[in-house]
Amino acid sequence: MAYYINLFSPATYLKFTESDQSVSGFSKSQRTKAEKIKPGDKFVCYMTKLSRWVGVFEVLSECYEDDSPLFEEKNDPYVIRFKVKPLAWLEKDKTVPIHHPEVWNELSFTRELEHTDLTWTGKVRGSLAKITKIDGSFLENILSRQMSQPTEFPIEDVEFRKHLPKKIKGPKGEVEVQIPDDETEQATDIVDSETTVRISHQIQAKVAYIGYKMGFKVWIPNGDRNKVTTYLDKDNIPVLDQLPLNYEEKTLQTIENIDVLWISNSGRRIVRAFEVEHTTLIYSGLLRMADLRALQPNMDIQFHIVAPYERRRKVLAEIKRPVFALLDGGALEEYCTFISYDSISELAKDSNLEFLKEDVLSKYAEAVLTED
């Protein structure tokens, strides 16, 4: 028996509470992780944005795919599902803050840290992350005790509801959106210097290196190519000097400016697209991805915004903007995730890259739901 994290946003927490509480669902991007989970394993449930532990489920089935509406009335994104039995599911004001001393000082990934340190969030960046049996058992005991002998940890209704998304009508029906509290990204948030530009090019090079080692062809825009390839020369990593793709001119112009592309060996398919955001406004890269999706709504590509970890909140908030929810091919959050510089650097050091597949990125990529 093993323990895994099951993430809920405030909105999905409410939806599960109102359901018959027999099924837990995950996005398609998490299929690989889901297939490793067996009946008898347990999900420890965590609510993002409010940073609270909310419940424990026993897994009753292998994962299966079912797109019937359950968590959303239409286009339910949580189609990889498990039958579950809640062992504990807490009311809103009885959910347990991760910063509560009894919890913070006990968990292996928080007890050595200051309460202001954000590095602990690594364990709750995505659903289905495995945690130790000691941590899992501890959390299960805490949450079970809350069911029988609850302690109140009130959440103001205004505070809770400000994290609930608004619904607007999109091409495929209603979609949920959020407008970031910080409406615009100020220029003062961005340190534009020779050093930061160099770091950005180094990260582009690492993304290119990872893709090449996994067996893909690599594209870097003309404007960046000379500077980025200086970091690739020692590894003799070739970079395409022309895109081998057959699209109309406007589409090609958009594709050519994306920071890094992994392209299949046949040259017929873009496998992954990356925007490295260090010295530019975050939504410049998002707009490029949205433009591509608008031009080619049937193009099946996973997009990633790669940025320093301290920009994580901003990236995830921007992906959820209304303008990105109204694309014909589906809301941007369905196929665009955040990956930190540190995660790219860690993956680039893996000596087994040539044996890995592209879905290893799901270990590092963070979707909108994980915003904490």
Q: What's the DSSP call for residue 164?
A: S
Which of 326, 322, 317 has the alpha carbon at shortest distance from 366? 317
Secondary structure class of 170 (helix, strand, coil): strand
Could you give the CA distance from residue 317 to residue 371 in angstroms, rounded to a whole number? Answer: 8
Strand bridging mode 260-263 / 217-219: antiparallel
pLDDT at 190: 43
Which residues face 58 on adjacent strands? Answer: 42, 85
Which domains does the chain carry?
3-164 (3.10.590.10), 170-370 (no CATH)
pLDDT at 29: 73
pLDDT at 180: 53
Strand bridging mode 80-89 / 130-131: unpaired
The number of C-alpha atoms within 13 Å of 164 and in the hemisphere containing its C-beta is 11
Could you give the CA distance from residue 199 to residue 342 in angstroms, rounded to a whole number? Answer: 12
**Per-position pLDDT tens, the chain of length 372:** 999 999 998 989 999 999 999 999 988 878 888 999 999 999 999 998 899 999 999 999 999 999 888 877 767 778 999 999 999 999 999 999 999 999 999 999 898 888 766 666 667 777 898 999 999 999 999 999 999 999 999 998 888 887 776 665 555 555 555 555 543 344 334 444 556 668 889 999 999 999 999 999 999 998 889 889 888 877 788 899 888 888 888 888 888 989 999 999 888 889 999 999 865 567 678 888 888 877 777 777 889 999 988 788 788 878 877 777 776 667 788 888 899 999 999 999 999 999 999 988 988 888 776 544
| Region for 292 from its dihedrals, namely left if φ exceeds 0, alpha if ψ lies in -120 to 50, beta otherwise | alpha
DSSP 36-85: T--TT-EEEEEETTTTEEEEEEEE-S--EE--SSSSSSSS-S--EEEEEE
pLDDT at 371: 47
pLDDT at 183: 39
pLDDT at 62: 97
Whole-prediction pTM value?
0.61
